[in-house]
Chains A and B, each alone.
Chain A
Amino acid sequence: MTDLTTDLGFLKLKNPVLAASGTFGYGLEFEPFLDLNKLGGFVVKGLYFDPRPGNPPPRLVETASGLINAIGLQGVGVKAFAENIFPRLQSLDTAVIVNVCGSDDEEFVAVVDFLNGQVGIAAYELNISCPNVKKHGFCPALSPKHTHDLVRKVKRASRRPVITKLSPNVTDIAEIALAAEEAGSDGLSLVNTFLALAVDVETRRPKLANIYGGLSGPAIKPLALRLVHQAASRVKIPVIGLGGIATGADALEFLIAGARAVQVGTANLVDPQAALRIIAELEDYGRRHQLARLTDICGTLKT
């Protein structure tokens, strides 16, 4: 029996499979479908300090093996989360990670300050990379300097480990990854969605009300893998890989390319039990390859 436990240094997981923010609601939406305690963990939907109305519809468009979304981080805000939602997550025996958002650096710090008072959050994931909150959104992950400054401010305020979620929409991912590491980030997760456009040729209008959205799903997996490989080869802090993972084999690709853990995103929407299926497929792989620990394969890409 292969040991699936995964030690990120700052956080120990039952297995390397997390559910990705924005595809897993606040976790509770999935209780009818699976035992949340079987997951390595999950990352709740991004939280701003105040409630957010989100973007007008249409918010979604399907593309070849992919999904472009421009939800606009509609959400309940940090106070309603703490009062109404988080108490129902606190008793879970899995890593509950909170995705933290902000319209400026100060809001990131305010969200973290507030959540520091809640017992049972495993880590914060900084969403510095959402592509579609505004037409020209606040996206620190596009700049190494801004990434560095923001991570440093949040780290000073945070009483918990900080995972910085990076954008794929950059020229040099390693430069941004190193900036986050240098500023004290405990880990990285990548990639967020790819900025994308779909056009209705009959009306010549964008298919999304927001014009641009973020592309996710199996279509982006090879692109995400390349970025994860490049980032993981340069930093010492653990990298959590995501982007189009829908099967155990997909997850293994990310682990072999250098990720210590993975997140399952869009696949949750299609198959709400996808994360459990992927965990079972990882177990099966471990058995077939007689691995003592699954994490033994992390970063073993032969080049």
Chain B
Amino acid sequence: MMVDPAARIINKETWGPYFLLVLESRSIARRAWPGQFVMVKASETTAPLLRRPLSLAGRNGDRFQLFFQVAGQGTALLAQKEPEDRLDVIGPLGRGFRLPQNNQTAGVNILVGGGRGIAPLLFLAGEMRAVHFPVKVLYGGRTAADLPLRDRLRAGDIPHACSTDDGSFGQKGLVTGLLAQELKTKGAAGGIYACGPEPMLKTVAELAASARLPAQLSLESHMGCGFGACWGCVKKIRRDGEESWVKVCEEGPVFPAEEVVWP
């Protein structure tokens, strides 16, 4: 992990409350992997005091992408940043998605993204395809306006399907409905990789368990530091029959679905 106190913003795209920033930082970009995150200082002052954890949405050479949704004071300040502005960034942090050793015989890897949870899966889809792993992305949101990165999926020629709660784009209903169909009709999936709201992840875990497929889930948590010092971001994890509070920033944010104990 690295501290870059002045990572330059190269580009910014906006869709309502959603933002995609391209930043330049060789040391961070070269180490970035899907599922990892960075901690970004949103303000020079103490309002807000803490950095914000943002998901890595991609990398290209010395550049990396951050995708976020305005959810409060910190992200609202970050949304005001413009190209040529500099951001104080620590990263990449945490443990990302793990690729299977060999995907020659297994089926399609299903990547499930809910809302802003699409970011690490867009990144993962690119990395998987680079090593010839077959992927299909399932992307869900409340309305068509909550699927801003669907153009990226199309432009990248990444097989995908979309759902919206209100039916304004793609299939009407939850993205887990798409996943259930995918598992029923295709039946030859490799693994499942998911990021999104907790109820979505819980359903993904249940569907993966009944289909006897390995699943990796990227959990979201409020973080104090992002690098294991404060023990503030814990979730309950079960390993070898024992439950404990585990730091999402250090041992996650990606966990095997069967380890997650749902509240």
Interface, chain A (partner B; CB < 8 A) = 22-25, 29-30, 32-33, 45, 53-54, 56-62, 64-67, 69, 71, 74, 217-219, 246, 266, 268-270, 272-273
Name B's interface SS.
loop
Q: What chain A residues lie within 8 Å of B234 (beta carbons)?
A: 54, 57, 59, 74
Q: Does B148 belong to the interface (CB within 8 Å)? A: no
| Complex Cα spacing A247 to B227, Å | 21
B225 touches A65 (CB 8 A): no
Nearest residue in B to A67 (C-beta to C-beta)?
A: B49
> Contact: A268 with B49, CB < 8 Å?
no
Closest residue of A by beta carbon distance from B248: A57
A218: nearest chain-B partner, CB-CB: B46
The answer to whether A270 touches B51 (Cβ under 8 A) is yes
Q: Which of B1-39 contact A (CB under 8 A)?
A: 1-3
User: In the complex, A218 Cα to B48 Cα: how many Å?
Assistant: 11
Least Cβ–Cβ distance between A250 and chain B, in angstroms:
12
Contact status B222-A60, CB under 8 Å: yes
A282 to chain B, nearest CB (A): 20
Can you name the residue of chain A whose Cβ is closest to the Cβ of B1?
A32
A46 to chain B, nearest CB (A): 11
Task: Considering the complex, give the chain A residue whose CB is closest to the CB of B234.
Answer: A57
When distances are taken between beta carbons in the complex, the residues of chain B under 8 Å from A62 are 48-50
A66 to B50, alpha carbons, bound, how many Å?
9
Which listed residue (A22, A24, A69, A217) contacts B46, Cβ 8 A?
A217
List the B side residues contacting A58 at CB < 8 Å. Answer: 222
By a beta-carbon cutoff of 8 Å, the part of chain B in contact with chain A is 1-3, 41, 46-51, 90, 221-225, 227-235, 244-245
Is B49 a contact partner of A74 (Cβ separation < 8 A)? no
Known: A57-B245, A59-B234, A60-B224. A272 touches B3 (CB 8 A): yes
Partner of A71, one of B51, B222, B227, B231: B231
Task: Identify which of B41, B225, B232, B245 contacts A56 (C-beta below 8 A).
Answer: B245
Residues of B within 8 A of A32 (CB): 1-2, 227
Q: A272 contacts which of B49, B90, B222, B232 (Cβ < 8 Å)? A: B90
B219 to chain A, nearest CB (A): 11
Q: Is the CB of A65 within 8 A of B49?
A: yes
Question: What's the Cα separation between A266 and B221 when bound, in Å?
Answer: 19
Assuming A29-B227, A62-B49, is B3 touching A273 (CB within 8 A)?
Answer: yes
* Contact between chains at B232 and A71 (CB < 8 Å): yes
Contact between B230 and A69, CB atoms less than 8 A apart: yes
Asked if A33 and B50 sit within 8 Å, CB to CB, the answer is no
**27 A-B residue pairings within 8 Å (CB atoms):** A22-B230, A23-B230, A25-B228, A33-B227, A45-B231, A57-B221, A57-B222, A59-B231, A60-B223, A60-B224, A62-B49, A64-B47, A65-B46, A67-B49, A67-B224, A69-B230, A71-B232, A74-B234, A218-B46, A268-B229, A269-B229, A270-B49, A270-B50, A272-B3, A272-B90, A272-B227, A272-B229
Least CB distance, B86 to chain A, in whole angstroms: 15
Assembly CA distance A66 to B46 (angstroms): 8
Report the nearest A residue to B227, measured CB to CB.
A29
When distances are taken between beta carbons in the complex, the residues of chain B under 8 Å from A269 are 50, 224-225, 229-230
Q: A54 touches which one: B221, B228, B245 (CB < 8 A)?
A: B245
Q: Once the chains bind, are A23 and B221 in contact (CB under 8 Å)?
A: no
Q: Are A60 and B230 in contact (CB under 8 A)?
A: yes
Provide the residues of chain B in CB contact with A272, threshold 8 Å. Answer: 3, 90, 225, 227, 229
Q: Which of B1, B2, B223, B229 contacts A24 (CB 8 A)?
A: B229
Task: Identify the closest chain A residue to B51 (Cβ).
Answer: A270
Interface pair B232/A59, CB less than 8 Å apart: yes
Instruction: Contact check, B49 vs A25: say whether CB atoms are below 8 A apart.
Output: no
